[in-house]
Amino acid sequence: MTASDVQCNGAGFVRSNQREADLMTSHSVLDGAEPFLLEGSSTGILISHGYTGSTQSVRYVAEQLHRIGGYTVLGPRLAGHGVSPQEMDRTRAQDWVDSIDEALGTLRQRCARIFMMGLSMGGCLTLLSAARHPDIAAIVPINACVYFGAPSLAAKAYDRSAPRFFDSIGADIKAEGVTELAYDEIPTSTLAEIYGLMSVARDLLPEIKCPALVLQSTEDHVVPPDNGNVIVDGIGSDDKTLIWLENSYHVATLDNDKDRIVELAHRFFERLPQ
């Protein structure tokens, strides 16, 4: 499998029958889940939220990087997200990939150099994009997933008798009083989609040649922390580093390490050659 296999519905990805414009016909975007664009320099950052989440989870990191680094920062809303679980039920992995590709197109019109960051599935999409798009200058996946260590979840993904929706585990955040804007129900149909996405991203890790800073929480109740090791070991770049976040759970971009993430990412980006 090569990176080109993923494009245009490759690697088994199938688009939903309706694209994003159609998905918006019955529901409006939740307050706080809107996509955002922070205009800045000719160096751009695309930062992606995760599975069932929203742009709210990455907005703080984006705003701080824009403030201290002057970057142009784009936070897309992934197809089916930030609306309702019913709308997400109508999307497939290719729709999420398309959301990222469209956002990259927007940044390319504004920026000469592009970095990518992503939380959880957003980190998985970041890895996949870096393998597919050689023009991405560097990546920072945060608690990215290339495998789940939950056999019961895998069984549910391919169980046709499973209910249409099941309860989310809720926001996995260590800091008290902090909440994530995310769905409280997960569409069962999308489980197989994220499993397929993770599998393809894992297979394509050797094709990632750009510098990579992998950030992983030591205690993560959603993604097995060993994902960090698997990712950094698999990436084909010679410039790759794994740093552990010791004071946050899964949604680290809203948690106790959020400012550390900003500092680490900024320092990483600034050390790279122009």
Render pLDDT for 91-142 as a digit per residue (tens, 0 to 9): 999 999 999 999 999 999 999 999 999 999 999 999 999 999 999 999 999 9
Q: Give, as one character, the DSSP assignment of residue 146.
A: S
User: For residue 180, what are the CA distances in angstroms to 33, 169, 216, 254?
Assistant: 10, 12, 18, 8
Q: How far apart are CA 74 and CA 169, in angstroms?
A: 28
Residue 153: its pLDDT value, please? Answer: 83
Choice among 120, 129, 217, 248 that is catalytic: 120
Tokens in use for 194? 């994220």
Tokens in use for 211? 């510098």
Residue 53: its pLDDT value, please? Answer: 98
Burial 156-189 (b: 16+ CB within 10 A, else e): bbeeeeeeebeebeebbbbeeeeebbbbebbbbb
Residue 156: its pLDDT value, please? Answer: 87
CATH, range 3-271: 3.40.50.1820
Choice among 49, 66, 250, 257 that is catalytic: 250
Tokens in use for 17? 């029958």
Binning pLDDT at 50, 70 and 90, where does residue 207 land?
very high
Choice among 95, 98, 203, 220 that is catalytic: 220
- Active-site residue flag, 49: no
Q: How far apart are CA 173 and CA 199, in angstroms?
A: 26
152-198 tens-digit pLDDT: 788 888 888 999 999 998 899 999 999 999 999 999 999 999 999 99
- Active-site residue flag, 250: yes
- Active-site residue flag, 220: yes
More confident residue, 26 or 253: 253
Residue 160: its pLDDT value, please? Answer: 87
Asked if 114 and 137 touch (Cβ cutoff 8 Å), the reply is: yes
Q: Give, as one character, the DSSP assignment of residue 192.
A: H
Mean pLDDT computed over every residue of the chain = 92
Query: Which of 227, 20, 217 is closest to 127 using CA atoms?
Result: 227
